[in-house]
């Protein structure tokens, strides 16, 4: 494949935009080389500036569960655009999408729309603190909750020590009330609540982690969080910006049968446009201004064009017969096929999956399962980089990091799956 146009465009962009990208996830730092510049998408395919076609497993980092340019989503957006781009006032679409979110997510009794996952998580954290009157927040190493200052922290030196900033610009004071624990570690949770339970405003967790690769939370771990928060009077926040409507109609919480107090949503609920939300128990949500005193606002929150895309997507996934069963089946077939291809070539590899998410980990032989950041971080980034570029040459577009989830969609066909597995076999045969 030739990438001449992509290289020329990116070279210019890099002089105008830091790193040439508007989000670091799009940079190819973990795999080397320069990002490809994309021009259009259709169904399961994405096309770059040189006209190369790729089967896409990035899907705009998860939102495009219906695939690129699904006709019903495009039609809804075109209709909304024809009526105007925004009003700064309530619209019927806001009511409709709120009704659908509440109807399909039993833990959510009221919901507030925002424009990004970062807005949703930062608002949920503020709300947990305002509602409880406490300051401390628990998060888990390897879980990403947006570029929120108190959550951009690294773990301390012991299970129950407070985090330290891991980004310039985040002050020590901002991070001082964030407690960083290990994902899937029930004993760490119990220790933290034993030491600080009466001071913990809330716990925020990805029930299915996606930013250290796809790592499902263990049921006993998530249940321990629920019980600990209930006993301590802390707010349990499920960050389902990535897993929301991607692993089940009722999101990960419905798969696990665990009810959080607050939930953050994003990606799929925008159908490819900027929509996110936070919601939960009516009593807690009524603490938000203008009913309560916890401040949160957004000029473009509930934008009618973005809401139209999200509403069309949510209607599609909720009304299509066996939507999630079919999605899970194709994801499992692909993940298992990739793992088998790698192992046949003599590589140590483990594929983990949940709903429409998966990751092929090139793991350390000692790690039979990837359960947390410690085991994920031992995976071979060098092997992944060879795999990534080999798949690019075979016409397969994957996330450009070992530590990002891959995504499937309604648009991916059996032929796409078989072609992807065949491509992996070809790539691995050269290792």
Active-site annotation, residues: 144, 239, 267
Q: Are 64 and 409 in contact (CB under 8 A)?
A: yes
SS3 240: strand
Nearest Cα neighbor of 298 from 102, 120, 92 is 120
- Calculated CA dihedral for residues 73, 77, 80, 81, nearest 10 degrees: -170
Q: What is the DSSP letter of 264?
A: E
Retrieve residue 82's tokens. Answer: 């024809």
Nearest Cα neighbor of 135 from 118, 146, 150, 155 is 150
CA 302 distance to own-chain centroid = 20
SS3 76: helix
Retrieve residue 424's tokens. Answer: 């992996």
What are the distances in angstroms from CA 268 to CA 239, 278, 370? 13, 14, 25
Rounded to whole angstroms, the Cα distance separating 80 from 100 reads 18
Neighbours of 431 (CB within 10 A): 12
- Calculated CA dihedral for residues 67, 212, 276, 227, nearest 10 degrees: 120
Retrieve residue 31's tokens. Answer: 């795999």
Nearest Cα neighbor of 282 from 113, 109, 107 is 109
Beta strands 396-397 and 53-56 are: parallel
Axis-axis angle for helices 219-232, 186-196 (nearest 10)? 10
Retrieve residue 410's tokens. Answer: 């309604």
SS3 5: helix
Rounded to whole angstroms, the Cα distance separating 61 from 39 reads 16
């Amino acid at each position: 494949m030739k990438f001449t146009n992509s290289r020329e465009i990116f070279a210019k962009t890099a002089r105008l935009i830091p790193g040439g990208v508007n989000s670091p996830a799009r940079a190819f730092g973990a795999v080397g080389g320069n990002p490809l510049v994309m021009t259009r998408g259709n169904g399961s395919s994405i096309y770059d500036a040189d006209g190369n076609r790729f089967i896409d497993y990035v899907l705009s980092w998860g939102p495009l569960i219906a695939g690129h340019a699904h006709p019903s989503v495009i039609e809804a957006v075109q209709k909304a655009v024809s009526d105007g781009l925004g009003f700064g006032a309530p619209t019927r679409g806001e009511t409709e999408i709120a009704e659908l979110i509440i109807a399909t997510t039993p833990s959510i009794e009221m919901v507030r729309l925002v424009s990004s996952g970062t807005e949703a998580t930062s608002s949920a954290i503020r709300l947990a603190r305002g509602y409880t009157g406490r300051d401390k927040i628990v998060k888990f190493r390897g879980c990403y909750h947006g570029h929120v200052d108190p959550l951009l922290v690294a773990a301390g030196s012991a299970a129950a020590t407070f985090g330290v900033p891991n980004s310039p610009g985040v002050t020590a004071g901002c991070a001082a009330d964030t407690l960083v624990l290990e994902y899937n570690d029930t004993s760490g949770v119990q220790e933290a609540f034993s030491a600080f339970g009466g001071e913990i405003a809330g716990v925020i967790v990805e029930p299915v982690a996606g930013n250290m690769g796809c790592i499902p939370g263990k049921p006993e771990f998530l249940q321990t969080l629920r019980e600990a928060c209930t006993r301590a009077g802390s707010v349990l926040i499920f960050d389902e910006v990535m897993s929301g409507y991607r692993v089940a109609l009722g999101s990960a919480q419905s798969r696990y049968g665990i009810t959080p107090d607050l939930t953050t949503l994003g990606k799929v609920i925008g159908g490819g446009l900027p929509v996110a939300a936070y919601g939960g128990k009516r009593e807690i949500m009524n603490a938000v201004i203008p009913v309560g005193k916890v401040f949160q606002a957004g000029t473009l929150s509930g934008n009618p064009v973005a809401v139209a895309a999200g509403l069309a997507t949510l209607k599609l996934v909720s009304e299509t017969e066996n939507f999630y069963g079919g999605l899970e089946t194709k994801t499992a077939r692909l993940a298992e096929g990739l793992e088998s291809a790698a192992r046949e070539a003599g590589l140590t590899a483990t594929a983990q999956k949940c709903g429409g998410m998966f990751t092929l980990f090139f793991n350390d032989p000692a790690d039979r399962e990837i359960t947390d950041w410690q085991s994920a971080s031992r995976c071979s980034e060098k092997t992944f980089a060879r795999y990534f570029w080999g798949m690019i040459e075979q016409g397969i577009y994957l996330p450009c990091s070992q530590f990002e989830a891959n995504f499937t969609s309604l648009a991916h066909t059996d032929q796409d799956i078989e072609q992807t597995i065949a491509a992996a076999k070809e790539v691995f045969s050269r290792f």
